[in-house]
Amino acid sequence: MLSLFPQEILLLIGDTLTTYQKLIFSSISVSFDKLKYKFIYRHAIAAHKIQDLLYKENFAVSYYFVKRFINTPRFVKRLHFSDTFNSPLDNLPHSVTHLFLGRGFNKPLDLPPFLTHLYLGKAFNQEIDNLPSSLVHIKFGKRFNKPVANKLPPFLKHIEFNKDFNQPLNGFLPHTLQYIHTGGYNYPLDIFPESLIDLLFGYKFNQPIRNIPPVKRLCFTKKFNHQINNLIPSSVEILGFGKSFDQELSGNVPDSVDFLIYEGNPERIKNCNLRIKSLGWGSTSISSDCVPPSVRRLIFGTRYNLPIQSLPSFITKIQFGDHFNQPIDNILPENLISLKFGLNFNQPIDKCIPSSVTRLIFGEKFHQSIANMSRTNNDNLTHLTISSNVEEIITGDILPSIKYVVLHHNGPNNFNQFQPHVKVIIKRKK
């Protein structure tokens, strides 16, 4: 029946299929076998697997090399190289727009003229002369520390440096740049393109700031500790300070800031009059007076793992990091709506979860009973993410209001007997 359709229609059908499905589809009959020479295959595949195919030119999106560089299809757009690859790049096809080089690559670059995205791995530390002007996105690896003055493409929008980088940037950033992470940079920097949206200073940066353009995201990380009096633009919506920060916050954080990420001296934020709605907290001890009354969402850093005495009643959403594994008896606000625990949390929760919670997420290592977790009842809980091998058999009677259950499938499935309307999603370990 399908053979009655014009080939153009069959090729359109093929565009909706995966590579494997296309091969099955083309094996239906002898006449359909011709389609595999017409289909365009758009999924990643190892180069050696298709090198001898008569239709290898049809693999047009992603191509993967392990140790050696061999001929590529003429129209390939994305090239990926494994971490063991460290051979010269000769005669890359002009069709390539995205190039991903693995951790071990450290050879001079010879890039195609229409490349738009370049990702360099950990070992790369070569001169970057003659980068194509078409590049809009560059990410450097850990060891890169070569001069970039007057070498960056003119229309670059996104650039990420890494830990070892510490070369002059002032006055050398393209006027089109929208995102920059400065990596290990620690020189004065006060000449910025007005196009910047995201400005992230790396962990070594500790210089006075001035002339910050109207960015939306501004983050200072580990070592920064300079005064910020009237220096943060009123355009900033996300603002971050690292562990070393110990400067006056009050009156210096514009009302435009919606999300403050704070790892600095806790005394600087206590009883501070801020209008932020979300607070990201680092790894130091927290108390209720560290949280401004405007905050509704509280996010703990990955390494936070200290006892908590109490949290403000106005918090409605809490997210703990992967390291947190402390008792939560009598600390959660009564008006809490959303609660997320990280990977390592595995504490008893009997009568600990406010009945107001509608969304509850546990990590893969949580294996405690949830039958009596609510302080009063479970009638508001609609979304639950939890391990499939929790302590008891969970039935719909225990969670009467539940609508969605996501299971970390890492053992026997102790969830059953849900009502038909409950959607259960199983997340298997990769």
Tens of pLDDT along 130-170? 999 999 999 999 999 999 999 999 999 999 999 999 999 99
pLDDT of amino acid 70: 62
Q: What's 11's DSSP letter?
A: H
Q: Which helix (H) or strand (E) holds 23?
A: helix 19-25
* Per-residue pLDDT tens digits for 333-383: 999 999 999 999 999 999 999 999 999 999 989 988 888 898 877 678 999
Q: What pLDDT, on a 0 to 100 scale, did the predictor assign at position 1?
A: 45
**Whether the Cβ atoms of residue 329 and residue 308 lie closer than 8 Å to each other:** no
Residue 21: the pLDDT is 76
Spatial distance between the Cα atoms of 299 and 280, rounded to a whole number of angstroms:
5
**Looking up tokens 């939890």, which residue turns up?**
386
3-state secondary structure of 57: helix
| pLDDT for the residue numbered 311 | 96
Residue-level pLDDT at 424: 77
C-alpha pair distances (Å), 331 with each of 63, 272, 376 = 52, 22, 16
pLDDT at 3: 52
Contact in structure between 92 and 112 (CB atoms under 8 Å): yes
pTM assigned to the model: 0.85
Q: What is the CA radius of gyration of the chain?
A: 27
Separation of alpha carbons 173 and 345, rounded Å: 44
| pLDDT tens digits, 169-183 | 999 999 999 999 999
- Positions of the chain with pLDDT under 70: 1-8, 10-11, 14, 19-20, 23, 29, 31, 37, 41-48, 50-52, 54-73, 378, 388-397, 410-419, 428-430
Q: Which are the contacts of 9, defined by CB distance < 8 A and separation ≥ 6? A: none
Tell me the torsion sign for CA atoms 244, 250, 253, 258: positive
The two three-digit tokens of residue 107, written as one number: 């050879």
